[in-house]
Amino acid sequence: MKLSTRNQLPGTVVSVVLGEAMAVVKIKLDGSEQVITSSITRDAAVDLALAEGSPVVALVKSTEVTIGVE
């Protein structure tokens, strides 16, 4: 499958927490100790059969990134 999304980050699922409607998925990026978090629907997590150790690609498409400091 080809995608127009240019920010494609391969990684491994380190945790999946299923809620009533949503799921929180933590992904450790390949070649790094960095972990990113994604909130997706519970149905999507189940359909994708996401579980700890699943290889995935995080696709990031955003028009804005906000950074704040105090």
Tell me if 24 is assigned to some domain.
Answer: yes
| Mean pLDDT lowest among 2-11, 16-25, 33-42, 58-67 | 58-67
Residue 20 lies in a domain: yes
pLDDT single digits (tens) 15-41: 999 999 999 999 999 999 999 999 999
Residue 3 domain flag: no
Burial class (CB in 10 A: 0-12, 13-18, 19+), 38: middle
Model's pTM, two decimal places?
0.86
Nearest to 15 by CA among 39, 47, 44: 39
In the structure, what pLDDT confidence band is assigned to residue 66 with cuts at 50, 70 and 90? Answer: confident
66 located within any domain: no
Domain count, the chain: 1
Residue 31 counted as domain residue: yes
Please list the residues that pair with 26 across neighbouring strands.
15, 37
Three-state SS string over the chain comes to: CCCCCCEEEEEEEEEEEECCCEEEEEEEECCCCCEEEEEEEHHHHHHCCCCCCCEEEEEECCCCCCCCCC
Domain boundaries, position 40: 15-56
